[in-house]
């Protein structure tokens, strides 16, 4: 942490977990140790490589301000992970009630008699965090028994969930097969009923036709008897 009269700056080293083709950011915290308004400006030796937001600003009395420094995605890895880039943070007392728009280059001109504090910041590349390595099966020397119990419990729950899923899957398949059989049986019964109804309809038509012929014979016979009776009387 810097111990200037105006601002405390933390950290003094910008550490970037370097990864190829990926933007990486880190932050600075500026703390105003005074009862005055303090203006600041951030410069770098490689402005095309870094983006600083905000690169100028006002820190209110007894308050803090965060500055985000973003390194653009890099295509090539640096030799030995070394970086020669530098940052310079300048701070100066500002008028009460000043805002960011009031900041100008003349405020940081030492030749004009302004008291300007400067703090140089280094850039360091660090290795990105590695994912945790998988724990080998079986107990190892020095391993925690509680951890083994927890792992066994997780494995048992996973196996139980898998068996439950298989049981439910088998039940679902059996239910689908049963419903399919019932559907086919219902279709067969429906076709059979249709055939029987068709047979009954045809037989009914035949019976109605036979009844009419028999009735016609009876009527003709009765007429013959009546005519015979009349002829005998005459």
Under the banding of pLDDT at 50, 70 and 90, the label for residue 86 is very high
Confidence at 23, pLDDT banded by 50, 70, 90 = very high
pLDDT of residue 210: 52
- How does pLDDT run across 113-148, given as a tens digit for each residue? 999 999 999 999 998 877 776 665 554 555 555 555
Q: What is the pLDDT of residue 130?
A: 74
The pLDDT of 154-170, averaged and rounded, is: 66
Q: Which two tokens stand for residue 168?
A: 């439910």
**pLDDT on residue 158:** 65
Model confidence at 212: pLDDT above 70: no
pLDDT mean across residues, the chain: 82
pLDDT reported for residue 172: 75
């Amino acid at each position: 942490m810097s111990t200037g009269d105006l601002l405390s700056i933390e950290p003094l080293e910008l550490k970037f977990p370097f990864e190829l083709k990926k933007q990486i950011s880190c932050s600075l915290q500026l703390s105003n140790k005074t009862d005055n308004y303090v203006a600041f400006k951030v410069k770098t030796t490689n402005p095309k490589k870094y983006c600083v937001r905000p690169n100028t600003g006002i820190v209110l009395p007894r308050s803090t301000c965060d500055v985000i420094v973003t390194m653009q995605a890099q295509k090539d890895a640096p030799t030995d992970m070394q970086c020669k880039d530098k940052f310079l943070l300048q701070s100066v007392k500002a008028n009460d009630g000043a805002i960011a728009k009031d900041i100008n280059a003349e405020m940081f001109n030492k030749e004009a008699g302004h008291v300007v504090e400067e703090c140089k910041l280094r850039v360091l590349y660090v290795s990105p965090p590695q994912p945790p390595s998988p724990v080998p099966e079986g107990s190892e020397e020095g391993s925690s028994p509680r951890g083994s119990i927890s792992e066994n419990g997780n494995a048992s729950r996973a196996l139980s969930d898998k068996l439950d899923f298989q049981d439910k899957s088998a039940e679902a398949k059996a239910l689908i097969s049963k419903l399919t059989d019932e559907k086919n049986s219902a279709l067969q019964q429906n076709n059979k009923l249709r055939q029987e109804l068709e047979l009954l309809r045809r037989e009914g038509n035949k019976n109605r036709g036979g009844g009419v012929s028999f009735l016609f014979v009876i009527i003709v016979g009765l007429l013959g008897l009546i005519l015979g009776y009349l002829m005998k009387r005459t």
